[in-house]
Amino acid sequence: MNDLRIERVDGDGPVLLDWQQVHNLIIPTDPLSLDDVRERAGRNLLDVAYLDDVLVGCSTVRPPRDGAAVATVIARVLPAHRRRGFGAQLYAQGLAAARGLGAETIETVVLESNGDGLRFALEHGFVEVERYLLPGDSVRFIDLRLA
């Protein structure tokens, strides 16, 4: 398995732009502006994965909030880099970060049209909790919880 270089989004540098690029390619129904990404970086842990200098994917960890011990860990890998262990590395780092922030329950969310992402989540012990459609969207999101 190849080792990734994983960098935290911090400020307005190229890592922020790379995170936005991966998110918007994998979640085309909910494209984020740079201001949206900056806002998310203020409340979540956003990381970007590179193999040498090649952009591979990104991740999001939504920390536990409001006294709940639930965190959301999302790993996104660009299609050209899937099935090579990169998602597992991103997910493992995100899971460790979430646990370090006090999470006892781990959730994730996958766009219904992302069959690879759904298979990844199910293969890593997640079970489906809910499917929902955001206002104005035509593709549902799937919430999953680590069993």
Three-class SS of residue 103?
coil
The CATH number covering residue 33 comes to 3.40.630.30
Low-confidence ranges of the chain (pLDDT < 50): 1
Phi, psi of 63 (to 5 degrees): -65, 160
Q: Can you read off the two tokens belonging to residue 123?
A: 């293969």
Range of the domain at 54: 5-146
pLDDT recorded at residue 30: 86
| pLDDT tens profile 50-89 | 999 899 999 999 999 888 899 999 999 999 999 999 999 9
pLDDT recorded at residue 2: 60
Beta bridge partners of 1: none
Domain count, the chain: 1
- Which candidate, 49, 62, 58, places its Cα nearest to that of 95? 62
